[in-house]
């Protein structure tokens, strides 16, 4: 089949790009590690010393988090866009990321103990926050079962602002010593997490991707409008609930482990749609790989652009994403009064 | 022969409106049938219940009473997919939210035939191409739907409905917003489908002349009730239409043929001066 062949081609290309980017990122960083040293660590000749620590305990986990978070965010973007039938939808713009972030800071108030408990607990708080925010946006913006774009975007911004304010309240209750860490996390950063946390993150992301990818064909039909989808045999209500759940899970898992990183879910699906077309059966797997490549590039830039200091990756994605959003908005309304 | 569609004592009421000014709408005790191979024209004023009836026939809405049977099977016992394999709708639909091609749009009509599959099968593609050929859309297969003209888009949606391989084709205002040439094309296409494939058609239209031209029988709805069912000659009655539409109507037989010509009996401009 045509579509299947194109999927194979897209995944092979993006997979190659991903491996290449990941390999390159191993050699880049603020610590002075020579390429030869990186190779000897990777080759297993060097297992101790500063170089081994930098490559194996700093760079490698960070690359893994970047790939996972980027792919997850891009799939969340595709899912929200299909759900709202709107290419401008994104977890951050819809306020869902802020809801998840609020959940995380509330979770941190409780100071969840050991690492793995904290990972699971914070994810649960983030998921609850994301569901509340997404539910609020949907309930406020829906008129007669439809989601008009202006209302949806405005509602997302308002709900996002509300949760940002709520986050500020919780932060002022936090212990002063923990303030810096929380703020660093709020800007979105891919600090290495432990292997256990990474496993929890990956499991949640995999569940979310499965929820979305398993209904990719039905999501295509949703683009016709709900009534037409129903008349073509799609159980639209069940589909929407499943995608809503999946997209919230994807968003909240990233927020819990890497903070609210904006615009990845907007930029990556848009670029891929230009290359592959709107078929969600191609778009979802391609976004999983493409989002990873994008966020890894952004993070590598964030680590090196002001070296030896480093920027939060969320800053880079916002600097790319905000003008991109304006461009999309202008394109969409070009010629429309 | 038992009818393809049988509607018995059908009742439906929308939930009470929230706004005090909104009027409650209901369909009450509708009974009619559509024979296999027939073209039934559904006509009536705005808010007579035509769209509601389509939604009930396609399980978008559930009736509050009575029953609809498709070939003897109650609609309530059919799954959405089973229904979509037998009943296809050509709705008044804008372009898709994303930039799908004509072929992708038409392939969506194959969804009810191969659920649970990630990609369409080769036979799905064959059916879709055949549907595009029948509607003259093969040359435009790889064109984005939103760049089509109104008439082309209408034909693409008809092709999607044909890809469902339905027994009943429901068309909601198929010629609305189309110019004369496209209207003629749609009429020709529907007539071919009916005569060559024996497709049963339910045609919903504001255009009484178009409905009369294509339909074996007309069903006139008025405020949720059936005002009359019968041949075009029986239903297109000056007194009845004037009462249902609330304006003077003239029905003429065009000379030399049995065609009916319905139009508003416009008052003379000179009469309005006073």
Query: How many Cα atoms occupy the beta-carbon half-sphere of A256 within 13 Å?
Result: 32
CA B261 to chain CA mean position, Å: 21
3-state secondary structure B165-227: CCCEEEEECCCCCCCHHHHHHHHHHHHHHHHHHCCEEEEECCCHHHHHHHCCEEEEEECCEEE
pLDDT in tens, A48-98: 788 888 888 888 889 999 999 999 999 999 999 999 888 888 888 889 999
| Tokens found for residue A270 | 């848009």
Tell me the angle at which helices A96-109 and A115-141 cross, rounded to the nearest 10 degrees: 140
pLDDT at A335 over 50: no
Contact A225 B100 (CB under 8 A): no
Share of chain A above pLDDT 70, in %: 95
| Mutation for A interface: B18, B78, B83, B108, most A CBs within 10 A | B108
Is B14 in a helix, a strand, or coil?
coil
What residues of chain A lie within 8 A of the CB of B18, using their CB? none
Interface of A with B (CB under 8 A): 1-4, 85-87, 216-218, 220-221, 223-225, 227-228, 230-235, 273, 277-279, 281
pLDDT bin (cut points 50, 70, 90) of residue A196 is confident
pLDDT bin (cut points 50, 70, 90) of residue A180 is confident
> Beta strands B39-43 and B217-222: pairing type?
parallel
What residues of chain B lie within 8 A of the CB of A278, using their CB? 96, 98-100, 104
**What average pLDDT does the segment A118-145 reach?**
87
Radius of gyration of chain B (CA): 20
| Mutation for B interface: A2, A7, A145, A233, most B CBs within 10 A | A233
Report the residue of chain A nearest B97, measured CA to CA.
A223
> Beta strands B5-13 and B168-172: pairing type?
unpaired
How close is the nearest chain A Cα to the Cα of B241, in Å? 31
φ and ψ at residue B260, rounded to 5 degrees: -100, 145
| Tokens found for residue B257 | 């043929």
Residue ranges and CATH numbers for the domains of chain B are 1-86+166-230 (3.40.50.300), 99-165 (no CATH)
* Mean pLDDT over each residue of chain B, to the nearest integer: 89
pLDDT bin (cut points 50, 70, 90) of residue B271 is low
Contact B100 A278 (CB under 8 A): yes
Q: ipTM for the complex?
A: 0.91
pLDDT recorded at residue B19 = 55
Q: Classify each residue of B172-203 as buried b or exposed e, where b means 16 or more C-beta atoms within 10 Å of its C-beta.
A: bbbbeebeeebbebbbebbeebbeeeebbbbb
CATH number for the region A2-332 comes to 1.10.3470.10
In eight-state DSSP terms, residue B59 is: T
| Tokens found for residue B3 | 């009818």
pLDDT at A337 over 80: no
pLDDT recorded at residue A174 = 76
Contact B119 A281 (CB under 8 A): yes
pLDDT in tens, B29-80: 899 999 999 999 999 998 888 999 999 999 999 999 999 999 999 999 999 9
In this structure, of A79-93, A136-150, A266-280, B96-110, the range with the lowest mean pLDDT score is: A136-150
Contact B93 A228 (CB under 8 A): yes
Spans of all domains in chain A: 2-332
Contact A233 B59 (CB under 8 A): no
pLDDT recorded at residue A58 = 84
Q: C-alpha dihedral over A249, A110, A173, A184, to 10 degrees?
A: -50
| Tokens found for residue B129 | 């191409």
Contact B104 A281 (CB under 8 A): no
Interface of B with A (CB under 8 A): 55, 58-60, 79-81, 83-85, 87-89, 91, 93-94, 96-101, 104, 108-109, 111-112, 115, 117-122, 125, 164
3-state secondary structure chain A: CHHHHHHHHHHHHHHHHHHHHHHHHCCCCCCCCCHHHHHHHHCCCCCCCHHHHHHHHHHHHHHHHHHHHHHHHHHHHHHHHHHHCCCCCCCCCCCHHHHHHHHHHHHHHCCCCCHHHHHHHHHHHHHHHHHHHHHHHHHHHCECCECCHHHHHHHHHHHHHHHHHHHHHHHHHCCHHHHHHHHHHHCCCCCCCCHHHHHHHHHHHHHHHHHHHCCHHHHHHHCCCHHHHHHCCCCHHHHHHHHHHHHHHHHHHHHHHHCCCCCHHHHHHHHHHHHHCCCHHHHHHHHHHHHHHHHHHHHHHHHHCCCCCCCCHHHHHHHHHHHHHHHHHHHHCCCCC
What residues of chain B lie within 8 A of the CB of A218, using their CB? 111
**What average pLDDT does the segment A187-211 reach?**
89
pLDDT bin (cut points 50, 70, 90) of residue A160 is very high
């Amino acid at each position: 089949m045509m579509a299947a062949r194109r999927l194979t081609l897209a995944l092979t290309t993006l997979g190659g790009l991903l491996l290449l980017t990941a390999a390159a990122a191993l050699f880049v960083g603020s610590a002075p590690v020579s390429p030869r040293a990186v190779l000897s660590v990777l080759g297993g000749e060097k297992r101790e010393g500063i170089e081994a620590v930098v490559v194996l305990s700093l760079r490698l986990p960070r690359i893994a988090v970047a790939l996972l978070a980027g792919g997850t965010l891009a799939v969340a973007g595709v899912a929200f866009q299909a759900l709202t039938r709107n290419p401008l939808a994104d977890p951050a713009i819809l306020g869902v990321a802020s809801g998840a972030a609020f959940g995380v800071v509330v979770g941190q108030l409780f100071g969840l103990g050991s690492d793995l408990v904290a990972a699971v607990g914070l994810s649960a708080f983030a998921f609850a926050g994301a569901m509340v925010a997404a539910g609020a946006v949907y309930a406020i913006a829906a008129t007669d079962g439809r989601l008009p774009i202006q209302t949806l975007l405005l509602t997302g911004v308002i709900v996002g602002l509300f949760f940002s304010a709520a986050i500020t309240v919780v932060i002022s209750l936090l212990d002063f010593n923990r303030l810096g860490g929380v703020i660093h996390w709020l800007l979105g950063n891919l600090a290495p997490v432990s292997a256990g946390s990474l496993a929890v993150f990956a499991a949640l992301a995999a569940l979310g991707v499965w929820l979305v990818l398993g209904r990719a064909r039905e999501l295509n039909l949703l683009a016709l409008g709900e009534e037409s989808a129903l008349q073509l045999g799609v159980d639209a209500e069940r589909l929407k609930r499943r995608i809503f759940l999946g997209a919230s899970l994807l968003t909240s898992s990233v927020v819990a482990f890497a903070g609210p990183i904006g615009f990845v879910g907007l930029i990556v699906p848009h670029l891929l749609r230009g290359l592959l077309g709107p078929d969600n059966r191609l778009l979802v797997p391609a976004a999983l790989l493409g989002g990873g490549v994008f966020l890894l590039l952004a993070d590598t830039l964030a680590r090196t652009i002001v070296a030896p200091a480093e920027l939060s990756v969320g800053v880079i994605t916002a600097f790319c994403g905000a003008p991109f959003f304006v461009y999309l908005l202008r394109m969409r309304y070009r010629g429309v009064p | 022969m038992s009818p393809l569609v049988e509607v018995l004592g059908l009742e439906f009421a929308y939930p009470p409106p929230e706004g005090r000014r909104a009027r409650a709408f209901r369909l009450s005790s509708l009974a009619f049938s559509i024979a296999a191979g027939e073209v039934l024209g559904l006509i009536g004023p705005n808010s007579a219940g035509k769209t509601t009836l389509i939604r009930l026939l396609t399980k978008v809405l559930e009736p509050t009473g009575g029953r609809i049977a498709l070939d003897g099977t109650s609609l309530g016992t059919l799954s959405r997919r089973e229904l979509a394999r037998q009943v296809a709708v050509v709705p008044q639909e804008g372009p898709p939210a994303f930039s799908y091609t004509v072929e992708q749009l038409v392939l969506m009509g194959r969804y009810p035939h191969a659920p649970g599959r990630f990609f369409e099968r080769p036979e799905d593609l064959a059916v879709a191409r055949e549907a595009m050929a029948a509607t003259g859309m093969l040359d435009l297969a790889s064109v984005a739907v939103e760049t089509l003209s109104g008439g082309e888009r209408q034909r693409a949606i008809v092709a999607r409905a044909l890809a469902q391989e339905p027994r009943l084709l429901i068309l909601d205002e198929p010629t609305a917003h189309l110019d004369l040439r496209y209207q003629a094309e749609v009429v020709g296409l529907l007539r071919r489908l009916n005569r060559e494939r024996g497709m049963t058609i339910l045609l919903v239209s504001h255009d009484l002349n178009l409905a009369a031209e294509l339909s074996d029988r007309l069903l006139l709805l008025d405020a949720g009730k059936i005002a009359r069912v019968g041949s075009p000659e029986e239903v297109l009655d000056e007194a009845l239409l004037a009462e249902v539409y609330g304006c003077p109507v003239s029905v003429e037989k065009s000379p030399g043929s049995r065609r009916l010509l319905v139009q508003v009996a416009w008052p003379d401009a000179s009469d309005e001066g006073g």
